[in-house]
A = this chain, B = another copy of it.
Amino acid sequence: MEPVDHFRGFLKKNGLAFTSARAAILKGIVASRGHFDADALHEQLKRVGESLSCATVYRTLPLFVQSGIIKETLRSKGRARYEPAWGLEHHDHLECVACGRIIEFRDDELERLQDKVCQRHSFRPVEHRLGIRGYCSECGKKGT
């Protein structure tokens, strides 16, 4: 199933309308393969000729989160950031403090270990975020 179909279903189920603005935002999300924030998404849509107010973007993003199309990731400089979640497995992030590059990775053993920690504390996990900040291979070569 395509994201758009899933999203239409989600809207219908909740008595919400599939509007042109929402269609545009979804297109923007799909186009920006990777991480983005509200402002970047808004800018991108403007570039493509879609004119939406940023209020609409902010009002709509939670719908995409709820429907599972995207998810919030670590905030950066006070901005909420998102990434596509549709059809993707969970993964964690390496974030380069020098160039800002984000490297995604997944490690099953790491996941299992986290579950063990939760069990040990009788904690029922809903979600987790692991972010490792440091220097990527490129920036690491250059020094410091």
Contact = CB atoms under 8 A, between A and B. Distances in A.
Interface of A: 74-75, 78, 94, 96-97, 103, 105, 107, 109-110, 113-114, 117-118, 120-137, 140
Contact of A130 (B107, B120, B128, B140): B128
Contact of A118 (B120, B122, B125, B132): B132
Contacts of A125: 94, 132-134
A135 B124 contact: yes
B133 A131 contact: no
A27 B132 CA distance: 31
A130 B129 contact: yes
B123 A134 contact: yes
